Chain A
Amino acid sequence: MEFGLSDEQRMLAESVRRFADQNVDAERLKALADAGETADTGLVEGLAGLGTLGIVTPEGAGGSAMTLLDACLVQQALGRNAVPAPFTASAILAPIALAAAASGGDWLPRLAAGEARIGVGLSEAAGRRAGTGIELDGERASGTARFVLDGVGADAWMLTTTDGGLILVDADAAGATCVALTTIDRTRSFAEITLKRAPVTLLMQPGADPTLLPRLLAAGRTALAFDSLGACERMLERAVAYAQERKQFGRVIGSFQAVKHLCAEMAADLEPCHSLCWYAAYAAAAYPEEFELMACHAKAHMGEVGQFVARTATEVHGGMGFTHEMGLHYFFKRIGVNRQLLGNPDQVRQHAAALQGWRRAG
């Protein structure tokens, strides 16, 4: 019986944390994010060099066939520094789907090497808004997918269809257009992809593998929860450090209980999130029947805790926390976007209720 990270997992997380600290310090984050650079070549090469981009990819396809938990620990370490590099779509979601579809062509090794990128659009599978959705007609598809994660500048897009299929579209396919969506988060890109009878590769026929889309959605939600967990850890650390530097009334503000208690509340909320996130990711392989529900719990709960920590850590910094200069806002915004992606907490809780057989009354 062991509920915790293995030595290997701790080393993996530590190596990515070190990489992020060396390559994306506060100055560099500001430079990249303010320039809207979400896929810096050096960072992508560095992540590929660490082997993180092929972390869940099968060994025969250039990856290391590790678990979702391992991949999520990388995601957490990226969230800690708000690293502006595509990871969730190209290194977690696309490889899981391509490996399951067994029709990934040569995409898998190229993704693992950082030579190609795929943007992934699962928002419609989580909850479809009017004016979105992609209809399949033979080998062509039409319609719109929004909030395609890491979609700008990608080589292809992996999208869901309204009837539950999964398709891959080349970025240069005739009839496919990409519009960048500007969000509050400048560290990751989101795209709106519109298809007009664009030729597509069908990765999964509607209904062929009824577990694939739910699993992908759950993996995406879990990864976003870990990203916020990492960002929250950093915000708390910064709040605690700042409270021990800043003086008012002749004392460091961290010696006032009013400020200490804010920090204690953040820690008290955040600590159990580790266990909840670990278990959700671990369940993907170990307890697949619990995976969807646990991913909902992790995503929704991390969304709530994230909102509290993002706000509170900013408040501890006083007026400085509100400035662009302090750079806390990159984390505030990343946490804020994670909360809304693939279903906000309210939406995800409704899903969790449905999964337990509790239907909603009118």
Chain B
Amino acid sequence: MDLKLSERYEDYREAVRVFLEEHRSVWRQPMADSDGRPSAAGRSWQALLIEHGYTCRTIPKQYGGHGGKADILESFIAAEEFHRVGAPTGLANQGISMFVPTLLECGTPEQKERWIRPTISGEIVWCQGYSEPGAGSDLANLQTRAVEDGEDFVVNGQKIWTSSAHFSDMMFVLVRTEPEAPKHHGISYLILSMDTPGIEVRPLKTMTGRAEFNEVFFTDVRLPKTQIVGERGAGWQVANTTLKHERGMLGDPGQANAMLGRVVAIMEEETLDGVRLIEHSGLQDRLLRLQARAQAMKLHGLRLLTHGLKGEDAGVARLIVKLNGTILNHEIAAFAIDVLGELGALYEDSPHLKDRGFWQTTHMFSLGLIIGGGTSQIQKNIISERGLGMPREPKPASKGA
């Protein structure tokens, strides 16, 4: 146990602080234009972050990355400092977080050369075509088909939950190319331009009232057969290579704590019958319960960081993070709504709305995060099977002819 940082890392923290202070005028500007695409300021900020290694740190220089070595502790310190002042941590579309790492692992030299630089700079925006109406938790059941026709693939089918599809230039997409093969072996990983004829994007309004996602329909969409990453039929394995890159992304273990701090500020200010909400014993008790859980998750993040620094697999401790983190954030938002009481029911442009509706939106959006990216039920399967060594659900007996 030693929570102190060595001098080298204290110096690094200081350098991050100086950097953030120096470039405040850049990152205080909106990072996206009204259509959702990276703004000019967003791209300038991204360029600065790459130059200093605060993003795209390990992506080779020849492809426009920083070309540095991974250093988990430096990344952790940088994340802490960025969050402390509320500075954006760089462009965050799925092209950068998922497609680029996949290309680095499985792409041809030409593909890397062509796509990585404009993607990480924010010039080209990508969306991810994975989920389908019939392939959610059971993703490998996807049915969108690509059929060979001369030098082309012809794609027909539908994707759903496609964030940013309405302003993306390109899509990386999983499609079934070998319908006769077992379901995990009949999938290919393709890339296509969103302005190809036959693609229709329909916004999907969520419970927040905003269109955060889309449905994407493909009708006889043609693309050259060369626009494939990895082998034909190996798309499932190609897509899964990205998963190991997630190790580097620890997220911010202090996020729940910071959110709770904002709730405390409301409780110290708002009154009911002249009594501050912070002195209301029922709310106080709920606050204290959440405080303990938020502290535990923050410290748990430090424990995982330590495992990472030692190159150890944290086992079940790592597998619980998505489940616990998303539920905790949602419950903190739900608590904030209760703290606001009737004010918590206000929305959109109503008079008396607090924090521009942040808590209302967060309460709903964070429910989506419990479901997305592997539902809580899928997480519990993973924890019990991979973490606790319990048996997999037996396959249903096939219905005999």
Which residues in A have some Cβ–Cβ distance to B below 8 Å?
Answer: 1-6, 69, 240, 243-244, 251-252, 254-257, 260-261, 263-265, 267-268, 271-276, 278-279, 282, 286, 294, 297-298, 300-301, 304, 346, 349-350, 352-353, 358-361
B99 to chain A, nearest CB (A): 31
Q: A272 — which chain B residues lie within 8 A by C-beta? A: 293, 296-297, 299-300, 320, 324
Q: A252 — which chain B residues lie within 8 A by C-beta? A: 391
Q: Which residues of chain B (274-304) have a CB below 8 Å from chain A?
A: 275-276, 278-281, 284-285, 287-289, 291-293, 295-297, 299-300, 302-303
B306 at the interface (CB under 8 A from A): yes
Given contact pairs A260-B381, A276-B296, a sample of 14 additional A-B residue pairs in the complex whose CB atoms are under 8 Å apart:
A2-B2, A4-B1, A255-B390, A260-B385, A260-B388, A264-B383, A272-B296, A272-B297, A272-B299, A286-B1, A298-B292, A346-B285, A350-B281, A353-B284
Dominant SS at the A interface?
Answer: helix
For the complex, what is the distance from the CA of A358 to the CA of B267, rounded to whole Å?
10
B309 at the interface (CB under 8 A from A): yes
B157 at the interface (CB under 8 A from A): no
Q: A240 and B389: CB pair below 8 A? A: yes
Chain B 221-258: CB-based contact to A (< 8 A → 1; otherwise 0): 00000000000000000000000000000000000000
Closest-by-CB residue of A relative to B384 is A260
Q: B306 and A260: CB pair below 8 A? A: no
Q: Which of A69, A273, A346 contacts B296 (CB 8 A)?
A: A273
Known A263-B388, A278-B1; contact A4-B280, beta-carbon cutoff 8 A = no
B83 at the interface (CB under 8 A from A): no
Q: Which residues of chain B (342-393) have a CB below 8 Å from chain A?
A: 377, 379-381, 383-385, 387-393
Q: A257 and B393: CB pair below 8 A? A: yes
Q: Which of A244, A267, A275 contacts B303 (CB 8 A)?
A: A275
Chain B 302-330: CB-based contact to A (< 8 A → 1; otherwise 0): 11011101000000110010011000000
The interface centre, meaning the residue of A1, A240, A255 with most chain B CB atoms within 10 A of its CB, is A1
A309 to chain B, nearest CB (A): 13
Known A240-B388, A297-B295; contact A267-B285, beta-carbon cutoff 8 A = no
List 30 contacting pairs A-B, 8 Å CB cutoff, sorted by A.
A1-B73, A3-B3, A3-B299, A3-B302, A6-B1, A69-B1, A243-B390, A254-B390, A257-B377, A260-B380, A260-B381, A261-B380, A263-B388, A264-B383, A268-B320, A268-B323, A268-B380, A271-B317, A271-B320, A272-B297, A275-B303, A278-B299, A278-B303, A286-B3, A297-B288, A304-B289, A349-B284, A350-B281, A350-B284, A359-B279
Q: B377 — which chain A residues lie within 8 A by C-beta? A: 257, 261
Q: B388 and A267: CB pair below 8 A? A: yes
Q: A4 and B299: CB pair below 8 A? A: no
Q: A265 — which chain B residues lie within 8 A by C-beta? A: 380
Q: B275 and A275: CB pair below 8 A? A: no
B5 at the interface (CB under 8 A from A): yes
